[in-house]
Amino acid sequence: MEAARKTGALARLTGVIARHPWRAIGIWVLIIAAVIGAAAAFGGALQNKFEIPNSDAQKATDLIQKRFPARSGDTATIVFHTDGSLTTAQGQTAITDAIAAAKTIPHVVGAGDPLANKGGQISQSGKVGYVDVQFDQRAWTLPANTAPDFKAAVEKAVDGSGVQVAFTGQVMQEQPKQGASEAIGLLAAIIILLIVFGTVVAAVIPILLALLAVGMGITLLTLAAGFTDFNTITPILATMIGLGVGIDYSLFIVTRFRQALHDGTPPREAAALAASTAGRAVIFAGTTVAISVIGLATIGLDFITKMGIGASLTVLTSVAVAVTLLPAVLALLGHKVDRLKIPFIKTPDDSLAAAKQTAVAKWGRLVTRRAWAFFLVSLGVMLLLASPVVAIQLGAADAGTSPKDTTQRVAYDWLAEGFGPGFNGPLIVAVDGTPQQAEQLQKAIAATPDVAFATPAIPNPENDAALITVYAKSSPQDKATADLVEHLRHVTIPDAGVTAHVGGATAAFDDIAARIFSRIPWFLLFVVGITLLILTMAFRSLVISLKAALTTILSCAASFGVLTMVFQKGVGASLIGLDKTGPIESFLPVIVFALIFGLSMDYEVFLVSRIREAFVGGDTPRAAITDGVATIGRVIIAAALIMSCVFFAFLTGVDRTIKEFGLALGLAIVFDAFIVRLTLVPALMHLLDQIGRAHV
């Protein structure tokens, strides 16, 4: 067995690193310096660019950019509110001053006049009004200070007038911020590692290396952004994933290193052994994540593919750090890894003999003794958790689900109060035709059920195109609005005999959801199929591969089921700072599935590898299962707690999409580790062995 461990390219590489640790560290210093230098010289900025090739919403956008160049930039909407009336002299002065202040901001090329009912209006009650302000660029290309300067200038203009202002629109969208969530996740990880290892040195190593890996991954993302587009949510998602896997990968290798030390292996040999055994599973797990992310390309939406690729950068850097830098650090530390013991916490004995006496080892023996009972109960629990997923609604939650103290939420509530919920998500109908055709279509749209109001058609200077703004009676995230979009596209517009396309944010997210639904079979075929192939090659067992794939799908389904209950049905939503429900972001399930399908393989590979190792070493099948659970179960529990805490920490942020990612990923890890890998899988493997023996 020992001879087998010392063969192979990985064993030779880790052996060289362990024998020459300072050389390995020096090479890493050069690599880090080169990456930072390249990012500083060639890096780019992130941007919220959504393109949906061949969709109706994209055709509307393309037509507007081509025929209405003055409207090709994005807009900001100023919403006015007063307890009195905006039509008084004081109210009118405040509005005029606000518009004048808005026009002083660079890149503003025009603004409406709600007092003249042009590019804005006043509600019948006189308490609410709005005005649209046109910019000459898309929101993501504007300087970073544009939105804050715009907001400050308008607020100053109305100060003391008794008129309040709030802001919405693409230009005013607040970008997700990093900071507090990561700190909370790291603090939780440190506490868990201190309990697991019992020493400060061993606990700090995974944290420091994870931070290094995340830093490298984000720097590489910055460099890549200089050559292609990445969404602004990508670095937060990358940090979330990178911290979780970075700590877990190092945790697995450090644990194996300490086991070898406690079994009497010399430090440098122990470092090489840990990196070549646990490191092999780390490489496999990271590769699985990368392959799953590549599968996102089958969806055919560039921004989804890029979000996955951006997240995978921190995963791949975590693998590289764990396999090539960590063994050098461990070789230098040696037995010092057990220094600075924590008072009142007994330093765990990581030897194999001690592992067989732990609570998790007893759990493994109990599960295999009562295999049928544990298999049926765990499967039933997972299916019950997954059941709400059949009612999942994909789309885009509107600003009405934002925290109450954000300017977008305030603007949303005021507009809904003054003009109805449909004013928060106007549909833009781009007409490719004459003014007469556009006028005919406008009348047909205005007469369509569920349309609250359709503005008169605005032709372009060449009179070969026109724009009609349509306000639904329902809110942007309401299913009735999605149904209206489909009705306009497939009934109203064809009946009018005019070439026109329905665009706007609401229509675009409907198109994204439709594209994802249509491509899901190909996505699943790629991700599941490739993973099955790799697992079969690794374990030489189709049964184990099928079991791994199906149980991972079960973990994802259970996570999505709870996600549906919380974000869509509102169960427990207040506990995570939400006061309104909405659909699940259309792009979230496929990204979460791709990531979880890779991340859950960490636990599957580590568990099955140790089971196989015990079986090859002479254990009976049942003994191999229980020994595998005994030796790796405690590490899986610690790793799952750390990763889920990192993910759950992002529930403390204000961005709804980040909360969705945090809850979905965190729950999937908890379900996969505790219910699936440590209960369902051992029970199932024991049952499969019994069934196989019964038919021999």
Looking at the chain, the whole-number percentage of residues with pLDDT higher than 70 is: 92
Instruction: Work out the pLDDT band at 349, boundaries 50, 70, 90.
Output: low
Query: What is the model's pLDDT at position 2?
Result: 41
Q: Which amino acid, one-letter code, is at 79?
A: V
Q: Which residue has the higher pLDDT, 431 or 7?
A: 431
Instruction: Work out the pLDDT band at 617, boundaries 50, 70, 90.
Output: low
Instruction: Please check the confidence at residue 645 and state whether its pLDDT lies above 80.
Output: yes
- Rounded CA Rg of the chain: 29
Query: Structure tokens of 407?
Result: 């300017």
Instruction: Work out the pLDDT band at 694, boundaries 50, 70, 90.
Output: very low
**pLDDT tens per residue across span 319-341:** 999 999 999 999 988 888 878 88
Residue with tokens 């169960």: 571
What is the chain's mean pLDDT, rounded? Answer: 84
Calpha distance 124→108 (Å, rounded): 29
Which residues, other chains included, contact 392 with Cβ-Cβ below 8 Å and sequence gap of 6+? 560, 563, 564, 568, 584, 589
Query: What is the model's pLDDT at position 48?
Result: 66
Query: What is the model's pLDDT at position 563?
Result: 93
For every residue of 561-593, DSSP letters joined together read HHHIIIIIT-TTGGGGT--S--PEETTHHHHHH
**pLDDT tens per residue across span 467-483:** 998 988 888 878 888 88
SS3 track for 255-280: HHHHHHHHCCCCHHHHHHHHHHHHHH
User: Which residue, among 244, 179, 243, has the nearest Cα to 214 in the 3D structure?
Assistant: 243
Calpha distance 520→468 (Å, rounded): 34
Between the alpha carbon of residue 175 and those of residues 55, 56, 171, the distances in Å are 26, 27, 10
Q: How far apart are the first and last CA of the chain?
A: 29
Which residues, other chains included, contact 402 with Cβ-Cβ below 8 Å and sequence gap of 6+? 408, 409, 412, 654, 656
User: At CA 515, angle to CA 514 and CA 521, rounded to 5?
Assistant: 105
Query: What is the model's pLDDT at position 566?
Result: 93
Which of 476-493 are b and which e, b meaning 16 or more Cβ less than 10 Å from the residue's Cβ?
Answer: bbbeebbebbebbbeebb
Instruction: Work out the pLDDT band at 373, boundaries 50, 70, 90.
Output: very high
**pLDDT tens per residue across span 56-80:** 989 998 898 888 877 767 788 999 9
Query: What is the model's pLDDT at position 622?
Result: 74
User: Which residue, among 310, 260, 276, 284, has the nearest Cα to 46 in the 3D structure?
Assistant: 310
Lowest mean pLDDT among 279-293, 339-353, 514-528, 594-608: 339-353
Instruction: Please check the confidence at residue 102 and state whether its pLDDT lies above 90.
Output: yes
Tell me if 67 sits within 8 A of 462, measured CB to CB. Answer: yes
Which residues, other chains included, contact 56 with Cβ-Cβ below 8 Å and sequence gap of 6+? 489, 501, 502, 503, 507, 511
**pLDDT tens per residue across span 107-145:** 998 888 888 888 788 988 999 999 989 888 877 778 878
Query: What is the model's pLDDT at position 477?
Result: 79
Calpha distance 109→97 (Å, rounded): 17
Query: What is the model's pLDDT at position 59?
Result: 92
Query: What is the model's pLDDT at position 5?
Result: 46
SS3 track for 426-476: CEEEEECCCHHHHHHHHHHHHCCCCEEEECCCEECCCCCCEEEEEEECCCC
Beta bridge partners of 355: none
Instruction: Work out the pLDDT band at 178, boundaries 50, 70, 90.
Output: low
**pLDDT tens per residue across span 412-447:** 889 888 888 877 778 889 999 899 999 999 999 999
Beta bridge partners of 165: 80
Q: Which amino acid, one-letter code, is at 549?
A: A
Query: What is the model's pLDDT at position 423?
Result: 79
Looking at the chain, the whole-number percentage of residues with pLDDT higher than 90 is: 22
Instruction: Work out the pLDDT band at 578, boundaries 50, 70, 90.
Output: confident
Interval 625-632 mean pLDDT:
77
Query: What is the model's pLDDT at position 341?
Result: 80
Which residues, other chains included, contact 459 with Cβ-Cβ below 8 Å and sequence gap of 6+? 435, 438, 465, 466
Tell me if 221 sits within 8 A of 576, measured CB to CB. Answer: no
Interval 212-237 mean pLDDT:
84
User: At CA 504, angle to CA 141 and CA 58, rounded to 5?
Assistant: 75
Tell me if 515 sits within 8 A of 301, measured CB to CB. Answer: yes
Instruction: Work out the pLDDT band at 175, boundaries 50, 70, 90.
Output: low
Which residues, other chains included, contact 214 with Cβ-Cβ below 8 Å and sequence gap of 6+? 238, 239, 242, 243, 246, 314, 317, 318
Instruction: Please check the confidence at residue 583 and state whether its pLDDT lies above 70.
Output: yes
Q: Which residue has the higher pLDDT, 50 or 250?
A: 250
Query: What is the model's pLDDT at position 393?
Result: 83
User: Which residue, among 490, 434, 484, has the nearest Cα to 457 in the 3D structure?
Assistant: 434
Interval 351-356 mean pLDDT:
63
Calpha distance 432→670 (Å, rounded): 52
Burial class (CB in 10 A: 0-12, 13-18, 19+), 88: middle
CB atoms within 10 A of CB 695: 6
Instruction: Please check the confidence at residue 177 and state whether its pLDDT lies above 80.
Output: no
CB atoms within 10 A of CB 616: 11
**φ/ψ (deg, to 5) at 164:** -100, 155
**pLDDT tens per residue across span 500-555:** 999 888 888 888 888 888 888 888 888 888 878 877 776 677 777 788 888 888 99
Query: What is the model's pLDDT at position 343?
Result: 74
